Amino acid sequence: MAENSTLDKLQLEDLLESVELLNTSVSVQEILQHLLRISQARARSTRGAAAVRTASGHLELLVVRGISDLKPGSRVTESAFRERRLETILPIGNGDNSAGVIALGAVAAQDFELNELPGLRILLGFGATAIANAMAHEESKRLNERMNQRLQELRALLDFGRGLSSTLDAEEVVQMLALTFAGRWAISRYAVHAWRDGQEHVFRARGFTFAQMEALAGRYKDLNEAVLLGAGAELEWLRGLEIPPGSMLIPLRSGERMIGLILCGLRLNKRRYKREDLEFGLTMASRAAGSLENAWFLKEALVAREIEKELELAASIQADLFPKVMPVEPGWEVAARNRQARQVGGDYFDGMRLTQGGARRILYLVADVAGKGMGSAILMSNIQATLRALLEHEPTLEAVAREANKLLHANTPANRYATAFLLLLDPETGAADFVNCGHNNPLLLRADGKVELLDSPGLALGMMPYATQEQALAEFRPGDLVAIYTDGVSEALNLQDEEFGLDRLAGVMKRLREESAETILEGIFQAIEYHVGDAPQHDDITLMVLKRKP
Amino acid sequence: MPESFQIREEQIGLVKVFRLKGFLDAHTAPAFEAALHAKVAAGSYRLVVDGSELTYISSAGLGVFMSFIEEVREKGGDIRIGGLISKVRQVFDILGFNEIFQIFATADDAVASFDAGSNLAVEGD
């Protein structure tokens, strides 16, 4: 063997073999193992360690031979090596910029520094390059892995977005959200609970219960970000709930409000949730929250549309109830009009020709049905049918009203009733029976200018089971004028909350009393409009004007 | 138009095979979940998913596998996967599903693994 400092044959062979190995290895661990093995062999050392210098500059121990209290994977210093009598410390590469160190103890080789060290330094120089390459490779692998993860996140988001655009159902939104989380994180236990005032809750869970979600909602009333459960004092509480620590809780938020919570259990592949996962969770949740809001909004709109359709139907039923032409006899004029505040009103007027004992009679009727919409439209048609039927058989108007009261009370809910004024006129004589069933008293303007109110005892039809209605008699003389109206006329409010009132009504009637019934009717409507001004119409306005020609 | 997705079911011995075709994504995952749910509820616990015609899988699609795996294994069964094309296989690996599911080169291998006993090693990368 050579005695000088040049490399001997064995060293050269070692070097060639090493360079070959080092050039092909992409594992830092493998390179260090090899460098330590060669170093120990050249130094005849039984104890040794190899550490790599990390990006932050400290040494991380990767390979240990013959030292029990040093753990691979831990941080280490050169003084820690010396404390364990690893006194020969060789940098891998150049001094301070070394890629790591080889530490050797109990060097038994004679003239190690003279005979072995020069060759070893050349080897370690190659080793430094190999480690740099391997680290670059590992870094690019790590970057690649991270990029793949980010790419998967983006794909999941895009896919979720596509899925959301294909549904308008809250249950489906929650299902897609849960499946995406389950797949993204390999979790088999999860729960999604979303809620909103006036809407059904949406709940979907595997492995968790509604009670657990309620408990979480009680503790996390206004969560702003995704959190990992089980930090600090929460641990015991969480164990009591049997929710594993390390589970993730994500809020569903719509603007300022929390509209739900998502609980994601532990990952089956033992991976932990990272910062990026919390962010991804929150991003997904906010997409889902938007879709949930849309789904709920649509549901409300559909309900509103149903109501709209019902109103349209009610309005068409109602329109058919009003007589197309009011019956009238020579010597009389009649005009009637109804103006509804809404699509479907509760007012009703009618006129019917009858014969009583061979004598011609005309029934005039104004009614105000409690409530609006479909219910009142049906009640109105009920009243019309009931009255028409009864008028054929009952001997008097009072009997008609009482029987109608009984029938309506028996066949409608308690909150359904109607005030009504019925007038049965003998056009020959001007005599009229009338029944006022809890209705506004019609205003009778006599030819001589006196004003009378047509009142008789009685409550609204259908309000009480027993009969309260009594009939009274009125006598209309030539030149007399009657206005039968609903409270929409007398109580029409202006912006100062003042009612139109009977004085104004009587005033218009007096002023226009020489005109036709139609003109008087029109004049009263105009006077109401003038009085009300810009105030909104709250109630239906129904008015019937009956005039006995002078 | 959403991408098409089809499921064909086949019974091979005691094993129920789901042959998936097309796109398994957030939009189509509910259908697959319903199909799996029906079989598990009916007591089929030896399940194989044939992915040879599966061209795309998203996180939501993978979520379906997670929905039943614990229940199926508690009942002594398993969900095993075979025939994945490399693009789809990559997604399984990136999301760590290769650590949870036994993935075989072909669906036939996956079916055969049930006959051979339930503790076959996971196919290597």
Are residues A498 and A399 both part of a single domain?
yes
Question: Which of A138, A157, A186 lies at the terminal end of a domain, its last residue?
Answer: A138
Q: Model-level pTM greater than 0.90? A: no
Return the pLDDT at A354. Answer: 84
How far is Cα B3 from Cα B25, in angstroms, rounded to an integer? 9
**Residues of chain B contacting A178 with CB distance shorter than 8 Å:** 63
Any CB–CB contact under 8 A between B61 and chain A?
yes
In a domain, A145, yes or no: no
Put simply, the answer to whether B58 touches A182 (Cβ < 8 Å) is: no
Pairing of strands A541-548, A481-485: antiparallel
Q: Looking at the predicted complex, does its ipTM rise above 0.90? A: no
A476-495: average pLDDT: 92
Are residues A191 and A50 both part of a single domain?
no
Question: Which of A93, A121, A138 lies at the terminal end of a domain, its last residue?
Answer: A138
A37-55: average pLDDT: 89
In a domain, A114, yes or no: yes
User: Which pLDDT band holds residue A516 (cuts at 50, 70, 90)?
Assistant: very high
In a domain, A527, yes or no: yes
A155–chain B nearest CA distance, Å: 7
Any CB–CB contact under 8 A between A176 and chain B?
yes
Are residues A381 and A496 both part of a single domain?
yes
Least confident of A318-322, A450-454, A468-472: A318-322
Strand partners, A453: A443
Nearest residue on chain A to B90, alpha-carbon basis: A148
A501-512: average pLDDT: 94
Return the pLDDT at B3. Answer: 55
Return the pLDDT at A6. Answer: 60
Q: Answer with the residue of higher pLDDT: B26 or A517.
A: A517
Are residues A208 and A246 both part of a single domain?
yes
Q: Answer with the residue of higher pLDDT: B29 or A11.
A: B29
How many percent of chain A have pLDDT more than 90? Answer: 43
Residue A525 has pLDDT above 90, yes or no: yes
φ/ψ region of A166 (left if φ > 0, alpha if ψ in -120 to 50, else beta) reads: alpha
**Residues of chain B contacting A268 with CB distance shorter than 8 Å:** 66, 69, 100
Are residues A90 and A193 both part of a single domain?
no
In a domain, A290, yes or no: yes
A255, with CB counted inside 10 A (0-12, 13-18, 19+), is: exposed
Can you give the CATH number for the domain in which A416 is found? 3.60.40.10
Any CB–CB contact under 8 A between B63 and chain A?
yes
Are residues A403 and A490 both part of a single domain?
yes
Residue A345 has pLDDT above 90, yes or no: no
Segment holding B15, helix H or strand E: strand B15-24
Put simply, the answer to whether B58 touches A156 (Cβ < 8 Å) is: yes
Are residues A22 and A81 both part of a single domain?
yes
**Residues of chain B contacting A181 with CB distance shorter than 8 Å:** 59, 63
Residue A3 has pLDDT above 80, yes or no: no
Of B60, B62, B94, the CB nearest to A148: B94
Are residues A328 and A208 both part of a single domain?
no
In a domain, A514, yes or no: yes
User: Which pLDDT band holds residue A7 (cuts at 50, 70, 90)?
Assistant: low
Q: Answer with the residue of higher pLDDT: A231 or A130.
A: A130
A184–chain B nearest CA distance, Å: 5
Return the pLDDT at B2. Answer: 46
Q: Answer with the residue of higher pLDDT: A282 or A374.
A: A282
Pairing of strands A347-356, A332-339: unpaired
Return the pLDDT at B123. Answer: 37
Return the pLDDT at A1. Answer: 43
Residue B118 has pLDDT above 50, yes or no: no
The count of C-alpha atoms lying within 13 angstroms of the C-alpha of A122, restricted to the half-sphere facing its C-beta, is 15
A207–chain B nearest CA distance, Å: 10
Return the pLDDT at A466. Answer: 85
Domain that holds residue A134: 9-138
Put simply, the answer to whether A270 touches B29 (Cβ < 8 Å) is: no
Chosen for mutation from A153, A159, A206 (greatest number of chain B CBs closer than 10 Å) is A159
Residue B122 has pLDDT above 50, yes or no: no
Q: How far is CA A515 from CA A327, A479, A501, A544, A550, in A?
A: 19, 11, 22, 15, 11
Are residues A270 and A407 both part of a single domain?
no
In a domain, A472, yes or no: yes
Return the pLDDT at A431. Answer: 95
Of A166, A179, A269, the CB nearest to B63: A179
Residue B124 has pLDDT above 70, yes or no: no
Are residues A441 and A398 both part of a single domain?
yes
Are residues A212 and A171 both part of a single domain?
yes
| Residue with the two structure tokens 């004049």 | A523
Are residues A289 and A249 both part of a single domain?
yes
Return the pLDDT at B120. Answer: 42
Q: Answer with the residue of higher pLDDT: B103 or A296.
A: B103
Please choose, from the candidates A59, A9, A62, A68, the residue with its C-alpha nearest in 3D space to the C-alpha of residue A35: A62
Count of structural domains, chain A = 3
Least confident of A10-14, A176-180, A446-450, A518-522: A10-14
Return the pLDDT at A372. Answer: 65
Question: Which of A298, A314, A335 lies at the terminal end of a domain, its last residue?
Answer: A298
- Give the pair of three-digit tokens for residue A547: 């005039």
Residue B52 has pLDDT above 90, yes or no: yes
Return the pLDDT at A56. Answer: 86
Q: For chain A, give the mean pLDDT.
A: 87
What is the distance in angstroms between the CA of the first residue and the CA of the last residue of chain B? 36
| Domains assigned to chain B | 5-115 (3.30.750.24)
Segment holding A405, helix H or strand E: helix A397-411
For the segment A193-217, what is each residue's pLDDT rounded down to a tens digit?
999 876 678 999 999 999 999 999 9
Of B27, B67, B91, the CB nearest to A166: B27
For the segment A235-264, what is each residue's pLDDT rounded down to a tens digit?
889 999 999 999 999 999 988 889 999 999
Chosen for mutation from A188, A266, A277 (greatest number of chain B CBs closer than 10 Å) is A188
Can you give the CATH number for the domain in which A42 is found? 3.30.450.40
